[in-house]
A and B are shown apart, each in its own frame.
Chain A
Amino acid sequence: MTASGHMICSHCLLPVGPRAMRRIVNGEDCGFCCYGCCIAFQVKRGKTEEWEAAWLLIRLGVGGFLSMNIMLFSLLLYTDTFTGADARLIPWVHILLWIFATPAVVILGGPFLHETWLNGLQGRLTSSTLIVLGVGAAYVYSAFAVIERSPHVYFDTATMVLMLFTLGRLLEAAGRARAARDLEPLLAAERESVVVVQDGTEIRRPVREVEAGMLVRVRPGERIAIDGVVVEGESYTDEAVITGESRLVAKEIGSSVAAGSINLDGPLLIQSSGAGTATRWAHICQSVRDALMRRSPNQRVADRVIGISVPLVLALGGMAMLYWAQRLSFDRSLLIGLSVLVVACPCAVGLAAPLATSIGIGRLARCGCLVRDPAALEALARTRLLAFDKTGTLTAGRARVVGIESDGAATDEVLARAAGLERHSEHGLAHAIWMAAATRGLEAVVACEVRTVPGRGIQGIANGQRVAAGTSALMSDLGWPLPQVLAELARSMEASGHSVVYVGWGERVHGVLSFDDTPLAEARSTIEALRRRGLHVTLLTGDLAQAAQRVAAAVGVGGGDIQAGLSPQAKLAALDRSRQGGEPVAMVGDGLNDAPVLAGADVGIAVSSATDLARETAALVLPARGLWLLPWVVDVARAIRLTILTNLMWAFGYNLIALTLAVLGLLQPVLAAAIMASSSILVVINSLRLERLPDPVPSSILRRPSSAETDSTATALAPVMLGSAINRG
């Protein structure tokens, strides 16, 4: 949760330290990580009458006016325009420069000085300290030079360094805002307002005031901010934020809609099914916000480097100046010291990791994948071993009829009679039975006086005969004999991990139905795709070995990579064993049954079934039925890591090379400032490349009209399940 003082920048959505810049924009209290973001945010959001936004730009403009004039005359001086008879003008030009430079340094340097002062009070040195010291030294020296009538003044250096840094910060902030674009809808849940229809009038109210049963009108193009049921109108919605799949879902009266989806076509009147703050979308937003505020390991390293680099650079600059002062004139050595201070500003290093991470989190979130801890992304990129749980992860978690054994009676009759009974039940197996009957085109034998026997099964009367379906205990309760053949078959089925249901009528047992969990249609292609990415896939399950073997064979996991019959503790131990050589291991589960294992793995990935994200233990949450996204998520994690590494390499490498050049006296301060400012912008541009990662492509299996009954039902049921899951949550 939000620790005191920790928040994210209102503009670029990166975490800011305890000393954020604070401004009131449009009546809202906003915090910014830097001056650039502060300006850019106010330009973008601030109403034109906002005084300060304009004031900041005026300062930039006037500062620009002054420093351009200074540069203009300095260029004339540098290019030896005032030679010969004109040389007597030079002292007057110097005085003119001084007159221009004084307000410019005050106007442009003010924010840097302010920042340095605030940090200095807490005994901290930041990159602004370097700028203030360097620029201050150049200015003071030049002022003395004017008084003493020395040949060289460096007002242009002082003002241009300030100008370039201010401009660089502004441009950097503009780039970062682009990065934040993806995240914006995910952070908007709390700010969103909805049009509530009450007694025929429409009032706009904040979403947190919405309660169950309220009517909310959503116009086309708007984001639906609440969960609920459509009571008027029809439209298509895009539920990508929730399901990860960007496709049109038709909605009509009675359809349930999920908060976070976008209403595309027509106006909808929606009856809210719960409080506005209790939606899955609101939880997603909270979760993203929390993730953005955490610092990844890379980031912590970078922060530490920045922390020690500033005093180091100061010392280095001082030493370089002292060294050169013995060999060159004082002003030349001063300039070299200034170059060192300016060029070693560790701005780019500080930006390398958080920017790439937040873009990555936004990119993943747009497809419904939630990152709850940025460290997990880094770990996932390095991981070589991916362990899967079976039930609910690689399988649908729903039973399917896989065998019908009968003793004399036709198998169809067994199924039809069972279906007639199970129509009245809501048991998981009942659903499988009537689905199986429906797929075979059987007409269920209508039963009446149906009643369920808890824990045993169900019985009723059909065609004047008593019919029953359930466990062997139910059959013996009824006193119905169980033929030897069926009993043996059932025993062997049970031994191999199947569930069985006995079906009897006419005072004896006539058949046995066996059930098994079905592998997900996309499981095989997903595992293949993961293998192609060099990942080792294993199966860790609490189920019987035979059941695990069957699923493993179906999805393409080798026999040696299966460990069955594991308790959650044993799963954790198995993960620990495979974590040889310090490489992180990832565990993929459904987030319900194996929460402790997901929490214990380096990367816990939940293929979301958990309805309450706050209780979720996994660091990465895929949307429901989002297993197919996993290879893409791995790709994104790797791309993010690569970007962070290239950013850091560039930032560090650049700093080192430039620093060397500056120490050797080969770099002009203005050039150093220009390169410095551009290095941050390069980091921004490199990170923005993450936005262009290809979207995940749903596997072809999902698109094909499925022959497997579970698949079609699952697709048909998905919205219902989702809706009901959210309602419960």
Chain B
Amino acid sequence: MTYYLVVFVAGFAGSFHCIGMCGGFACALGRDPRGGGATMLRHFVYNTGRLTSYCFLGAVAGALGQMVCTRQGATVMLLGGSVDVAERILAIIAGLLMVAMALQFFGLLQARHHLATGFGSSVFAKSLRSLLTARSRAAPLAFGVFNGFLPCPLVYAFAAEAVSAGQTLRGILTMASFGLGTFPAMLMMGGVGRVLAPAWRQRGVWLAGSCILLLGIITLGRGILPFAAHMEHGWSGVHPR
């Protein structure tokens, strides 16, 4: 449980970073002329769409991880316990990715912008723009679904984490916690439409970076440390394994 809480917090803190992009969209989604309730619903539907995309990514990532882990099946007897080699390799890769993302958040690593805004983002942007002004009640949902696939380093980081989770359900839960974590800021952004002070945004970025760094180091540790393979069980506890 604690594990998902950390992911939630990382998502929450990270969402202040996202406000630059997704927050802009949320603002653009604006208010519904039918009143405050309708506006709330509009933003809730939008965020549901986004969350679905994240969960889907998490499911695919988790299933991928599970496939790799069960297919390989190469276990090594180590210190009296069996340890899955593939799981460790996945954990190391995911951990490194997350540490790299965290460093990027701290500004210590230059972001490869073309990676994030590569193919299709202009197509996406155009699609999104035309959805923003549509009057349909379903438009925010579609908007959220597309938004979920927008290239974003945070999403990449947690998708990597979901792969290393090595199980479909855990992948979904990881991404869901992250997505839920981004809910408050995004809802606030849309509902209130108030731009947060830059200082607060900076603090949010630092907090997100710290959480991701922490998660990254833990994931990395799961891969490297001989006895830590199932460490996360100790503090999550709810895995239906």
The verdict on B92 contacting chain A, using a C-beta distance below 8 Å, is: no
Pairwise interchain contact B168-A81, C-beta atoms closer than 8 A: yes
The verdict on A68 contacting chain B, using a C-beta distance below 8 Å, is: yes
Contact with B along A45-88 (1 / 0, CB 8 A): 01011110111011111101100110110011011010000100
Pairwise interchain contact B129-A72, C-beta atoms closer than 8 A: no
Compute how far the CA of A280 lies from the CA of B143 in the bound complex, rounded to whole angstroms: 47
Partner of A55, one of B53, B126, B136, B144: B136
Compute how far the CA of A60 lies from the CA of B132 in the bound complex, rounded to whole angstroms: 15
Pairwise interchain contact A76-B59, C-beta atoms closer than 8 A: yes
Residues of chain B within 8 A (CB-CB) of A86 are: 240
Residues of chain B within 8 A (CB-CB) of A282 are: none
Residues of chain A within 8 A (CB-CB) of B100 are: none
> 8 closest Cβ contacts across the A-B interface?
A61-B142, A54-B134, A68-B56, A79-B168, A58-B142, A61-B145, A72-B59, A75-B59
Contact with A along B209-222 (1 / 0, CB 8 A): 00000000000000
16 residue pairs A–B, Cβ–Cβ below 8 Å: A43-B130, A48-B129, A51-B134, A54-B130, A54-B139, A57-B127, A57-B134, A57-B146, A58-B134, A62-B142, A68-B145, A72-B172, A75-B168, A78-B63, A78-B168, A174-B123
Q: Can you name the residue of chain B whose Cβ is closest to the Cβ of A79?
A: B168
If over half of B's interface residues share one DSSP class (helix, strand or loop), that class is named, otherwise mixed; here it is helix
Contact residues, A376-425 vs B (CB, 8 A): none
Contact residues, A190-215 vs B (CB, 8 A): none
Residues of chain A within 8 A (CB-CB) of B55 are: 68, 72
B86 to A: closest C-beta gap in Å: 15
Residues of chain B within 8 A (CB-CB) of A55 are: 134, 136
Total A-B Cβ pairs within 8 A: 101
The verdict on B138 contacting chain A, using a C-beta distance below 8 Å, is: yes
Pairwise interchain contact B126-A44, C-beta atoms closer than 8 A: yes
The verdict on B66 contacting chain A, using a C-beta distance below 8 Å, is: yes
Q: Can you name the residue of chain B whose Cβ is closest to the Cβ of A77?
A: B168
If over half of A's interface residues share one DSSP class (helix, strand or loop), that class is named, otherwise mixed; here it is helix
Q: Can you name the residue of chain B whose Cβ is closest to the Cβ of A71?
A: B56
The verdict on B186 contacting chain A, using a C-beta distance below 8 Å, is: no
Contact with A along B26-70 (1 / 0, CB 8 A): 000000000000000000000001001101100110110010000
Residues of chain B within 8 A (CB-CB) of A78 are: 63, 168
Compute how far the CA of A59 lies from the CA of B130 in the bound complex, rounded to whole angstroms: 13
A99 to B: closest C-beta gap in Å: 15
Query: What bracket does the count of chain A residues touching chain B fall in?
Result: 20 to 34
Pairwise interchain contact A57-B130, C-beta atoms closer than 8 A: yes
The verdict on B167 contacting chain A, using a C-beta distance below 8 Å, is: yes
Compute how far the CA of A232 lies from the CA of B131 in the bound complex, rounded to whole angstroms: 47
The verdict on B98 contacting chain A, using a C-beta distance below 8 Å, is: no
Residues of chain B within 8 A (CB-CB) of A68 are: 52-53, 55-56, 145
Compute how far the CA of A79 lies from the CA of B123 in the bound complex, rounded to whole angstroms: 34
Q: Can you name the residue of chain A whose Cβ is closest to the Cβ of B122?
A: A174
Q: Can you name the residue of chain B whose Cβ is closest to the Cβ of A54?
A: B134
Pairwise interchain contact B53-A62, C-beta atoms closer than 8 A: no
Pairwise interchain contact B146-A48, C-beta atoms closer than 8 A: no
B72 to A: closest C-beta gap in Å: 16
Q: Can you name the residue of chain A whose Cβ is closest to the Cβ of B146?
A: A61
Partner of B63, one of A46, A51, A79: A79
Compute how far the CA of A49 lies from the CA of B127 in the bound complex, rounded to whole angstroms: 13
Residues of chain B within 8 A (CB-CB) of A81 are: 167-169, 240
The verdict on B90 contacting chain A, using a C-beta distance below 8 Å, is: no
Partner of B126, one of A43, A51, A69: A43
A130 to B: closest C-beta gap in Å: 26
Contact residues, A602-657 vs B (CB, 8 A): none
Contact with A along B155-171 (1 / 0, CB 8 A): 00000000000011100
The verdict on B189 contacting chain A, using a C-beta distance below 8 Å, is: no
Pairwise interchain contact B141-A71, C-beta atoms closer than 8 A: no
B30 to A: closest C-beta gap in Å: 14
Residues of chain A within 8 A (CB-CB) of B141 are: 58, 61-62, 65
Residues of chain A within 8 A (CB-CB) of B75 are: none
Q: Can you name the residue of chain A whose Cβ is closest to the Cβ of B55?
A: A72
Query: Apart from A54-B131, A61-B49, what 4 extra A-B contacts exist at CB < 8 Å?
Result: A43-B127, A53-B130, A68-B53, A72-B56
Residues of chain A within 8 A (CB-CB) of B129 are: 48
Q: Can you name the residue of chain B whose Cβ is closest to the Cβ of A86?
A: B240
Residues of chain B within 8 A (CB-CB) of A75 are: 59-60, 62-63, 168
The verdict on B236 contacting chain A, using a C-beta distance below 8 Å, is: no
Q: Can you name the residue of chain B whose Cβ is closest to the Cβ of A67?
A: B56
A263 to B: closest C-beta gap in Å: 28
Query: What bracket does the count of chain B residues touching chain A fall in?
Result: 20 to 34
The verdict on B121 contacting chain A, using a C-beta distance below 8 Å, is: no
The verdict on B202 contacting chain A, using a C-beta distance below 8 Å, is: no
The verdict on B133 contacting chain A, using a C-beta distance below 8 Å, is: yes
Compute how far the CA of A307 lies from the CA of B116 in the bound complex, rounded to whole angstroms: 42
Q: Can you name the residue of chain B whose Cβ is closest to the Cβ of A78?
A: B63
Residues of chain A within 8 A (CB-CB) of B120 are: 171
Residues of chain A within 8 A (CB-CB) of B127 are: 43, 57
Residues of chain A within 8 A (CB-CB) of B136 are: 54-55, 58
Pairwise interchain contact A65-B52, C-beta atoms closer than 8 A: yes
Compute how far the CA of A174 lies from the CA of B143 in the bound complex, rounded to whole angstroms: 19
Residues of chain A within 8 A (CB-CB) of B139 are: 54, 58, 61
Pairwise interchain contact B172-A76, C-beta atoms closer than 8 A: yes
Residues of chain B within 8 A (CB-CB) of A171 are: 120
Pairwise interchain contact A49-B52, C-beta atoms closer than 8 A: no
Q: Can you name the residue of chain A whose Cβ is closest to the Cβ of B126?
A: A43
Residues of chain B within 8 A (CB-CB) of A49 are: 133
Residues of chain B within 8 A (CB-CB) of A71 are: 56, 59-60
Compute how far the CA of A65 lies from the CA of B148 in the bound complex, rounded to whole angstroms: 11
Residues of chain B within 8 A (CB-CB) of A51 are: 134
Residues of chain B within 8 A (CB-CB) of A59 are: 142
Compute how far the CA of A79 lies from the CA of B145 in the bound complex, rounded to whole angstroms: 24
Residues of chain B within 8 A (CB-CB) of A65 are: 49, 52, 141-142, 144-145
B43 to A: closest C-beta gap in Å: 16
Q: Given contacts A68-B53, A69-B52, is CB(A60)–CB(B142) below 8 Å?
A: yes
Residues of chain B within 8 A (CB-CB) of A43 are: 123, 126-127, 130
Residues of chain B within 8 A (CB-CB) of A58 are: 131, 134, 136, 138-139, 141-142
Compute how far the CA of A69 lies from the CA of B57 in the bound complex, rounded to whole angstroms: 11
Q: Given contacts A54-B133, A57-B130, A72-B172, is CB(A79)–CB(B138) below 8 Å?
A: no
Q: Can you name the residue of chain A whose Cβ is closest to the Cβ of B58?
A: A72
Compute how far the CA of A62 lies from the CA of B141 in the bound complex, rounded to whole angstroms: 7
Q: Can you name the residue of chain B whose Cβ is closest to the Cβ of A73?
A: B59
B16 to A: closest C-beta gap in Å: 26
Q: Given contacts A76-B168, A174-B123, is CB(A61)–CB(B59) below 8 Å?
A: no
B239 to A: closest C-beta gap in Å: 11
Residues of chain A within 8 A (CB-CB) of B146 are: 57, 61, 64
A481 to B: closest C-beta gap in Å: 84
Compute how far the CA of A58 lies from the CA of B59 in the bound complex, rounded to whole angstroms: 23
Compute how far the CA of A54 lies from the CA of B142 in the bound complex, rounded to whole angstroms: 10
B129 to A: closest C-beta gap in Å: 7
Residues of chain B within 8 A (CB-CB) of A50 are: 130
Q: Can you name the residue of chain A whose Cβ is closest to the Cβ of B132?
A: A48
Partner of B167, one of A64, A69, A72, A79: A79
Pairwise interchain contact B66-A79, C-beta atoms closer than 8 A: yes
A503 to B: closest C-beta gap in Å: 71
Pairwise interchain contact A46-B49, C-beta atoms closer than 8 A: no
Compute how far the CA of A75 lies from the CA of B145 in the bound complex, rounded to whole angstroms: 19
Contact residues, B84-141 vs A (CB, 8 A): 120, 123, 126-127, 129-134, 136, 138-139, 141
